[in-house]
Amino acid sequence: MAYLIGVVHRAQAEMARSFGVVAFSHGREAPVRRLAQGDRVILYAPKTDFEGAPVQAFVAHATVTGAAPYEKAWDGEITAWVRDAAYDAVTEVPVRPFLDALSFVRDPKHWGMAFRQGKFEIPEADYRLIAGALLGAAP
């Protein structure tokens, strides 16, 4: 099992949750092909949408359930490569209170650099800290 963060806008996270899928990197195939059933995914939203207001929060938690990626119509005019996923009910959690505790954030002053990738793996301890807060457990 891998623990991953996907970086998407809040609107994309809400659409993925409504479809019961995960997608990364503007719908590219490779990022979802490398997933395995049981992988845990936390979605981080920098903004509400492409031109939107800042969010800077962890907004969703999913477990990959699909055995294989497939293409899905997405947002009317485009298709995206996706993988089926089960989403948990969560409360959005701002990223800033976690910056000093997350091992993948090398420099809290430049914390945004850690989120420049569309999808990246994180250590289990970081996953547990974020997921616990999203799911309502005390940190």
- What domains are defined for the chain? 3-134 (3.10.590.10)
pLDDT attached to residue 6: 95
The span from the first CA to the last CA of the chain, in angstroms, equals 22
Q: Is the pLDDT of residue 102 over 80?
A: yes
Q: Which pTM was predicted?
A: 0.94
Q: What angle do CA 108, 110, 94 make, to 5 degrees?
A: 60
Give the per-residue SS3 of 39-50. Answer: CEEEEEEEECCC
In this prediction, residues 35-51 reach a mean pLDDT of 95
Tell me, rounded to whole angstroms, the distance of Cα 76 from its chain centroid: 22
pLDDT attached to residue 88: 97
